[in-house]
A and B are shown apart, each in its own frame.
Chain A
Amino acid sequence: MKYIPTIGIECHVQLATKTKLFSEVDNDARGKEPNSCVSPVDYALPGMLPRLNGEAIKFAIRAGKAMNCKINEHSRFDRKHYFYPDSPKGYQITQFYEPIIGEGFVELPSGTRIRIEHAHLEGDAGKLTHFSDYSLVDFNRVDTPLIEIVSMPDIHSAKDAHDYCKELWRLMIFAEVSYGDLYNGNMRFDVNISLAPEGTKELGTRAEVKNLNSFRSVERAVEYEIKRQTKLLEAGKKVVQETRGWNDADGKTTGQRSKEEAKDYRYMPEPDLPPINLTKEFIETEAAKLPLMPADYRKMFGKTIKSDILEILLDYPQLAYKLKEIASPSHPERAQVRSPKLIALDGKVSAISLIANLFVSVLLAEEKSAEYLNDLPSAKDLTELAEMNKKKELSSTATKEVFLHLFDPQMKGRGSKQIAKELGLIQENDLGALEKIVDAVLAKPETKKAQDDFKAGEEKVIGFLVGQVMKESRGKANPSAVQDILRKKLA
């Protein structure tokens, strides 16, 4: 019997707000001492009350809009109770009953749509580190704003699970609501997987794999679960509804907590925070600040840039935006402007495809690429570079060299043309001048043998001769023009 997997994913996204969700303390604890970003509110001293960070509400609206979601004008907070030292209050403030983000969908690069059930705002927990006979707790992360995005069970393969998580990550970084640093836990995934015989409507019993922190581990955990559950079902056994943990080194999931042992969170309306009531105008104002999303770039560049190159570019919002700047310099705004005029590339097709290739094959291969990404050359310099390449003033090697020099702190700002001149990389395209150089090379006795070999039909020695001409021209000659002249002369 064939089994169809059904997968739903809950994703926690840490929002990159300046301050925490319920206090005025710095929310960016990267590189800071443990317990240095903690207010009396986060520490849950007696009598402390949560204050609501308005920026987190704005970020939630943007995140929701990035996922094509309805933003609820009315939402409120609830308390979710559990005892653990990472939870100073003894409860997490979350939105159990009335979340801020309603239904929507995420479209994968393949075109598959995954529906979003809802997403809610909540505070993160602290971090525990266990040692042999003691544990330490760091409250820096307490009440960092999170949105938990809950998908519908629309995913049916490990690959789609991977792609969905990755697309969510892109949406969050393009919407500029999260640093998207998975290594540091900015996004974490809980994956629900069940199997049902093909053709049945009813879903099977699900297992939940919690706390996955990379797309790859999501994919591997799903693959493992599908195998594990298939084996169970084929042996006539039952899948137990439980929470499972993922061991990345073993590539296995292991049971942690069954449904019977599940905690009772004793949800209760949060009495210290009034409900959030947003006006339509407020929501629209925030939604209008949403920058262009991956889907917009796919629409814009889908016919110009090869899809494998484009999908790599879409991991880097800076690069995508730079290409958009090159495409339509007259529309510098980053917010979504849905006019067809913007999407039209105004004759910049070759420039965009060249720069896209340079970004992916040259820039991203550089050791310092992370640094470079934050300080990209201007659209004007890049456009100039593309034009020189198009006019054959620069060979493809020279184009790469000038491109790299645009990141050189000594050279940048001088413009592509000036850099190319200074490096002596402008190609000689003047046929008269090239002919003279070719004649000089052919007059040299050391090329005699090669000339004879070519005439005798040894095609590949043309490369040697072109090389000699290039050497003579000190690299400035246009090699394809040189080849044409050589062929004519040796015909």
Chain B
Amino acid sequence: MKTANKKITAERLVKDALDKAKHFADYNIFTFLNEEGALKKAREIDARIARGEKVGKLAGVPYALKDNFLSPEGETTASAHILQEFISPVTATAVAKLEAEDAIMIGRTNLDAFAHGSSTENSFFGPTLNAYDKERVAGGSSGGSAVAVALDIVEFATGTDTGGSIRQPASFNGVFGLKPTYGCVSRYGVVAMASSTDCIGFFTKTPEDMDLLMSIASGQDPKDLTTLADYYNGESQEQCLEGLPEVTTEDDGASDPSLKNTVLAPRRIGIIKDFDNESVDKSIRDALKEKCELLKSKGHEIVELKMPSLKYALPAYYIIVPAEVASNLSRYDGVRYGFRSDESKDLDQLYENTRSEGFMPENKRRIMIGNFVLSSGFYDAYFLKAAKARTLIIEEYEKAFEKCDYILTPVSPSPAFKLGEKVNDPIAMYFEDVMSVSLNLAGVPGLTIPVGKTDTGLPIGLQLVGPRRSDKKLINFAKEIA
């Protein structure tokens, strides 16, 4: 990724990004353009460069911030009416880490309100259009971020992935998208969707950029007790390859022994047989087969896996996640910040009107499902049962990774669909997530790799899945096979 230096100034990089953002305005990517703030910061960085001072690893790199990350720059709305005019006094840990390395946020990107959706059509600001076909959806919920990177407006964008919200839009727009291991990147300061499955990740154009961003953003955070002890950067190259067959390097090791020069040993790649059926678009199944042939030809082994518990993933997900959603959205009541309905005569009306007017239909649907499955008398039948299914899924992934090193699967059943095609059919929309949600329930990392295009020119992505804490290995393997 291009960083600022004496020749190419941060101001130049930021101006270019802002120009492109305006040029592509009809895609409805941004909910806020940070023109003033970004240029001010760019000039500061340029001044430091001119004085010969040290600058960060992301000096002057323009990036896009999904609008559910808190920072004082612009309103943090999560593309929801109920958070209109909310300017955060605090900064998300992930944002603070990027800014500490001198990255420059040029705008906030559109999403399905509160990240509820798979197409960005549930946004209060209207849908974001697909980078390759304006008639089609960007995917979601991180649609704006995916398109911002796909259209080369920014070098990278942040995303959140609760059930596929990074991987699916990355796949729909032909970019890399990582959902890290649960707990790898701090959730502090990111508008919560479902606490036990929310993951913070990125959209990039290369696996190398992803590696750099993860080395910066990952790590334990005292403000998020669910973060894991630092492992991303702690992993030396040796540890990273530990337990794997012999390793050879292309050169004699005289140059920098970075992983770029390493030819990795043959790996066992798992293919989930359960997903190989008619419900998956032929173009995607063909792309997966093609990739497998390629991997075989490079000496890797393809292992067929049966993972029968994965069929419970979608129903379990749509019980656990709405329950946490309903709970996490309780705080938006119009009392302390954000939108408040004016027409209320008493407290009950204040709640009712504020929440009725402030939430999108999909938000309300999930609140209702969530409250239902948690209600007295239904908890055991729904929530507890789903939690048990989740345990089965976790165990099934553990078993699978005894048989293989990575799993390669489709991200979603089809490439980008038409705008309006599924938005009024919630079940069809939920089915979009059938291949992505099991990773969130199991807490394992998944990386979307662009692998080609359909006959009609729509991007196709596949997701590479690894065991917990294998994020770096996953990215390194992607460098090799992408």
Give, as a whole number of angstroms, the nearest-CB distance from A431 to chain B: 77
Stretch at the interface among A44-52, A68-76, A151-159: A44-52
Please tell me which one of the listed residues B70, B224, B323, B351 contacts residue A83 in the complex, with CB atoms under 8 A apart.
B351
Per-residue interface assignment for chain A, residues 75 to 94, with 1 indicating a CB less than 8 Å from any chain B CB and 0 otherwise: 00001010101001111000
Q: Which residue of B lies closest to A263 (CB)?
A: B376
**Alpha-carbon separation in the docked complex, A193 to B225 (Å):** 41
CB atoms of A266 and B374 under 8 A apart = yes
The answer to whether A46 touches B336, judged by C-beta atoms less than 8 angstroms apart, is no
Q: Is B92 among interface residues, defined by CB-CB distance under 8 A? A: yes
B6 within 8 A of A: no
CA distance A267 to B371 in the complex (A): 10
The reply to whether the CB of B195 lies closer than 8 angstroms to some CB of chain A is yes
A20 to chain B, nearest CB (A): 14
Identify which of A46, A90, A137, A271 gathers the most chain B CB atoms within 10 Å of its CB. Answer: A46
Contact of A46 among B70, B196, B224 (CB under 8 A): B70
Contact of A88 (CB < 8 Å), options: B78, B336, B374, B376 = B336
Cα–Cα distance between A268 and B374 once the two chains are bound (Å)? 7
Contact call B324/A271, Cβ cutoff below 8 A? yes
Inside 8 A of A266's CB, which chain B residues have their CB?
326-327, 371, 374-376, 379
Per-residue CB contact flags for chain B residues 421-445 toward chain A (1 = under 8 Å, else 0) read 0000000000000000000000000
Nearest CB of chain B from residue A271's CB, rounded to whole Å: 4
Asked whether A40 is an interface residue with its Cβ less than 8 Å from the other chain, the reply is: yes
Per the CB 8 Å criterion, the residue count for chain B at the interface is: 45
Contact with B along A199-228 (1 / 0, CB 8 A): 000000000000000000000000000000
A483 vs chain B, min Cβ distance (A): 76
Taken residue by residue from 273 to 308, chain A's Cβ proximity to chain B (1 for < 8 Å, 0 otherwise) reads as: 110000000000000000000000000000000000
Within 313-345 of B, Cβ neighbours of A (below 8 Å) are at 323-324, 326-327, 329-333, 335-337
| Cβ contact of B333, chosen from A45, A47, A51, A83, cutoff 8 A | A83
Chain B 58-94 against A: per-residue CB contact (8 Å), 1 yes, 0 no? 0000000000111000001010000100101110100
Count of interface residues, chain A, beta-carbon cutoff 8 Å:
29
- Can you name the residue of chain A whose Cβ is closest to the Cβ of B196? A271
Structural contact, B324 and A268, CB atoms closer than 8 A: yes
Q: How far, in Å, is B68 (CB) from chain A's closest CB?
A: 8
With both beta carbons as reference points, the residue of chain A lying nearest to B355 in the complex is identified as A83
Interface of A is mostly: loop
Q: How many A-B residue pairs have CB under 8 A?
A: 99
Give the nearest-CB partner of A40 in chain B.
Answer: B90
Chain B nearest CB from A84 CB (Å) reads 8
The interface residues of chain A lying within 8 Å CB-to-CB of B83 are 46
For A52, give the chain B residue with the smallest CB separation: B225
CA–CA, A48 and B337, complex, Å: 14
Nearest CB to that of A274 among chain B residues? B225
**Segment from B7-15, B183-191, B285-293 that makes contact with A:** B183-191
Interface string of A31-73 (1 = CB under 8 A from B): 0000000001001111111111000000000000000000000
The yes or no answer to B254 lying at the interface (CB within 8 A) is no
> Given A52-B225, A85-B347, A268–B195 Cβ distance below 8 Å?
no
B70: shortest Cβ distance to chain A, in Å?
Answer: 5
Q: Which residues of A contact B187 (CB under 8 A)?
A: 47, 49
Most chain A CB inside 10 Å of its own CB: which residue of B329, B331, B379: B331
Q: Among residues 100 to 121 in chain A, which have CB atoms less than 8 Å away from a CB atom of chain B?
A: none
Residues of chain B in range 184-240 having any CB-CB distance to chain A below 8 Å: 187-192, 194-196, 222-226
| Residues of A with C-beta under 8 A to B70 | 45-47
Select B223's contact among A44, A45, A51, A85, beta carbons within 8 Å. A51
Q: Say whether A181 faces chain B, with CB atoms less than 8 Å apart.
A: no
Contact A45 B327 (CB under 8 A): no
A51 with B222: CB separation less than 8 A? yes
Additional pairs, 16, CB under 8 Å, beyond known A85-B335, A90-B331: A44-B336, A46-B83, A46-B86, A46-B331, A46-B332, A47-B70, A47-B189, A47-B191, A49-B225, A85-B347, A88-B331, A88-B335, A90-B330, A90-B333, A267-B379, A271-B324
A and B contact pairs by CB, cutoff 8 A, 17 listed: A45-B88, A46-B70, A46-B191, A46-B192, A46-B331, A47-B70, A47-B92, A47-B191, A50-B225, A51-B222, A81-B374, A267-B374, A268-B323, A268-B324, A271-B194, A271-B324, A273-B226
Q: A residues near B, CB below 8 A? A: 40, 43-52, 79, 81, 83, 85, 88-91, 137, 264-268, 271-274
